[in-house]
Amino acid sequence: MKVISKTHVGMVRNNNEDSLLVREPFLFAVADGMGGYRAGEVASRETLKAFEAATYELRHGQVGNPVEVLREAFAKANTHTHKMAQKNNAYNGMGTTLTALYLPGDNTAYAAHVGDSRLYLYRNKTLSQITKDHSYVADLLAQGKITDNEAFNHPKRNMLLQALGVEEEVNTDTVHFALEQGDILLLCSDGLSDMLRDVEIANILEATDFEDAATNLMEQSLDNGGKDNISLIMIAVEEDE
């Protein structure tokens, strides 16, 4: 397994509200915070702390059902961040996306997801979005009311329908799938996916080696505008992963 992570404040914002969790070789996550002054940073950071604490079993091989542990960890992280927002007026309304990936080492990947940070799978020169955005525009697209191009340029594409910390309860999407040698897994905040179309991401992954691809994804996102914080975690699956 090869792992590389990067984050950048972007070309517009003054602070970075993204947070990353990299606990090789098992657990990885991207959180993209939102809220008032500095509250987004607090939301993403604190949510990841609570999530990591709730996934001790996963990281120490003491779990029977990874899906249940991930769901419970998301629920605990949501409760933690929501309580913080309720207790401090400066954090009122804060929340965060969270997309997490667990790799137990048996050629299976488990993912859990709330918001519009994404998990992609690049396999055999084909890029697939594993997670479904919890956003207004994603719903319009799923209903066939807009095209992919309209979705990419939609003025409300950052309008979330769900985030951690905003409500007392949260509905977490989970998915698991088999891994193959040569797979590349890409976790990213919308600062990357809003700047790069899927075909651009795929072209970069195809044209460059692993380390250069991560750098090129970041640099191209910045060149395309860098309108938000940009974060990514890339994982290359090697033999017997």
Q: Is residue 241 part of a domain?
A: no
Q: Is residue 167 part of a domain?
A: yes
- pTM for the predicted model, two decimal places: 0.95
Q: Is residue 159 part of a domain?
A: yes
Overall number of domains in the chain: 1
What is the structure's pLDDT at 239? 66
- Which phi-psi region, left, alpha or beta, contains residue 136 (left: φ > 0; alpha: ψ -120 to 50)? alpha
Q: Is residue 121 part of a domain?
A: yes
Q: Is residue 201 part of a domain?
A: yes
Q: Looking up tokens 């899906």, which residue turns up?
A: 67
Q: Beta strands of the chain (E only): which ranges?
A: 2-8, 18-23, 27-34, 95-96, 98-102, 108-114, 118-123, 126-129, 173-178, 184-188, 230-236
- Which phi-psi region, left, alpha or beta, contains residue 8 (left: φ > 0; alpha: ψ -120 to 50)? beta
CATH of the domain at 168: 3.60.40.10
Strand order in the sheet with 118-123: 2-8, 230-236, 184-188, 118-123, 126-129
Residue 36 pLDDT class (50, 70, 90 cuts)? confident
For residue range 124-168, list pLDDT tens digits in order.
999 999 999 999 999 999 999 999 999 999 999 889 999 999 999
Q: Which residue segment(s) compose the domain that 192 sits in? A: 2-236
